[in-house]
């Protein structure tokens, strides 16, 4: 298992950011999937900083978002579209045609999901996918119990996130909110995956993901079976695992 442990927040952000930069420099027409949340924002900003000093070519890279919040305007600050736009897409000067997102609103989410997967496939499939980790082991909006062979679909969001988004957007209780996400099967088709997790609050689920059984109860446990997945952790998130032992697995 490939596990990298960072000693500081700066090192964590820089390590993950440099993996993205290396991917782009190595293959300038890469298709790269990004995740949103507290873990990845600084990583994205670090990619922009490195870009300002190295000025590598991003004109042929396709970026896409792993998942999206549904039932809100995509300009809402908590929508994945808006977060990725402000954290990395604008900073790198990526053309809008090279930034693919699932919609926040649609009359036909099934069709939107199929189109999204096709658009990624038409660009050659996913070269690198950066994943965050939910405290309950979710990947994107694939909550515990999501099938391992599932493709892009709408899903529930966890109640804490829903509560926060409802508050921030003043969405009444009778208006449904949810998520739309690439499925576990789509995720596992990525040629290369990097999962990033930091902080004490992730230490239990990191242990379950890496040391527990591969089970739909912990969606991220499927990553144990991916042929090219690196886990970038900080020392707090890694505090409940035996890194030396796992590196030999």
Site of interaction with ligand GLP (CB under 6 A): 35-39, 66-67, 132, 134, 140-141, 161
CA distance 205 to 50: 31
Nearest approach, Cβ of 52 to ligand GLP (angstroms)? 24
Q: How far is CA 35 from CA 4, 212, 215, in A?
A: 19, 24, 22
Closer of 10 and 57 to ligand GLP (Cβ): 10
Q: Which two tokens stand for residue 100?
A: 């693919």
CA distance 84 to 9: 20
Closer of 79 and 92 to ligand GLP (Cβ): 79
**Closest residue to ligand GLP, based on beta-carbon distance:** 132
Q: Which two tokens stand for residue 180?
A: 């739309």
Q: How far apart are the first and last CA of the chain?
A: 5
Closer of 56 and 224 to ligand GLP (Cβ): 224
The DSSP secondary-structure symbol of 142 reads B
Nearest approach, Cβ of 70 to ligand GLP (angstroms)? 11
Nearest approach, Cβ of 69 to ligand GLP (angstroms)? 8
Nearest approach, Cβ of 179 to ligand GLP (angstroms)? 6
List CB contacts of 39: < 8 A, sequence separation 6 or more: 132, 133, 196, 197, 198, 199
Nearest approach, Cβ of 115 to ligand GLP (angstroms)? 20
Closer of 27 and 106 to ligand GLP (Cβ): 106
Residue corresponding to tokens 């053309």: 95
Closer of 116 and 141 to ligand GLP (Cβ): 141
Nearest approach, Cβ of 67 to ligand GLP (angstroms)? 5
Q: How far is CA 152 from CA 62, 184, 202, in A?
A: 18, 8, 25
Closer of 31 and 34 to ligand GLP (Cβ): 34
Query: Which phi-psi region, left, alpha or beta, contains residue 145 (left: φ > 0; alpha: ψ -120 to 50)?
Result: left
Task: Give how far the C-alpha of residue 51 lies from the chain's centroid of Cα atoms, to the nearest Å.
Answer: 21
């Amino acid at each position: 298992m490939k596990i990298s442990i960072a000693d500081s927040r700066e090192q964590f952000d820089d390590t993950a950011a440099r993996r993205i930069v290396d991917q782009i420099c190595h293959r300038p027409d890469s298709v790269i999937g990004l995740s949103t949340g507290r873990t990845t924002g600084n990583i994205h900003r670090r990619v922009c900083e490195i870009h300002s000093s190295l000025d590598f070519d991003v004109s042929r890279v396709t970026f896409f978002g792993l998942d999206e919040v549904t039932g809100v305007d995509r300009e809402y600050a908590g929508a994945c579209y808006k977060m990725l736009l402000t954290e990395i897409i604008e900073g790198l000067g990526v053309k809008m045609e090279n930034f693919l997102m699932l919609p926040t609103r649609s009359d036909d989410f099934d069709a939107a999901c199929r189109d999204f997967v096709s658009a990624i496939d038409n660009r050659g499939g996913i070269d690198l996918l950066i994943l965050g980790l939910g405290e309950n082991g979710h990947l994107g909006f694939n909550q515990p119990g999501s099938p391992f062979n599932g493709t892009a679909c709408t899903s529930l969001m966890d109640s804490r996130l829903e509560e926060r988004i409802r508050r921030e957007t003043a969405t009444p209780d009778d208006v449904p909110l949810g998520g739309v996400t690439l499925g576990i099967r789509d995720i596992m088709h990525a040629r290369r995956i990097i999962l990033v997790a930091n902080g004490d609050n992730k230490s239990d689920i990191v242990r379950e993901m890496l040391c527990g059984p591969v089970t739909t109860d912990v969606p991220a446990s499927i990553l144990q079976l991916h042929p090219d997945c690196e886990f970038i952790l900080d020392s707090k998130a890694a505090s409940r695992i035996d890194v030396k032992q796992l590196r030999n697995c």
